[in-house]
Structure 1
Amino acid sequence: MCPDTCPHTPPCPPADAHDHDAARLVAFHPEQGWGLLCNGVVVFEDTGELLPDGRSRPAHRARCAPAA
């Protein structure tokens, strides 16, 4: 997968890049709550991630600002 064989122009960011979640979605399974990005990262519905090297990242949902 990316970056060695990424067919997209411009190429998708690699899995170790800060913006790795900007890679294109190549497989999507909403019924199971996950998708596979071109760079090998598995993204989950709760915003958690599984990196190609086996490391995981916890969910990182955006927080809303408190009401004034």
Structure 2
Amino acid sequence: MCPHEPSCPSSSASDREAARTIAAHPEQGWSLLCNGIVLFEDTGELLPDGAVIAPHRPTDLAISAA
């Protein structure tokens, strides 16, 4: 149960990554959010039910010639 006002988004909400961080371990590359999600620095997620969300940050950036 989230103690924050307004409450953090649930782990099933589309904006679930907006929940507050309750434990951060940048040296290990992950953070625990208030809604029970483990958020990894590569933007992958481990949901409370064990489901995995693959990393979704852009990795194929176009290189422009100057």
Q: Same fold (TM over 0.5)?
A: yes
Which residue, out of 31, 34, 39, partners 2:35? 39
Query: Which residue of the partner structure matches residue 49 of structure 1?
Result: 45
Take 1:33 and 1:13, find their aligned partners in 2: how far apart are those partners?
Answer: 22
The answer to whether structure 1 residue 60 and structure 2 residue 19 are counterparts is no
TM-score by length of 1: 0.84
- What displacement does 1:67 show? 4.1
- What displacement does 1:30 show? 0.5
The unaligned stretches of length 5 or more in structure 2 are: none
Take 1:51 and 1:29, find their aligned partners in 2: how far apart are those partners?
Answer: 17
The answer to whether structure 1 residue 15 and structure 2 residue 29 are counterparts is no
Take 2:21 and 2:12, find their aligned partners in 1: how far apart are those partners?
Answer: 16
- What displacement does 1:65 show? 6.3
RMSD: 1.5
TM-score by length of 2: 0.87
Structure having the higher Rg: 2
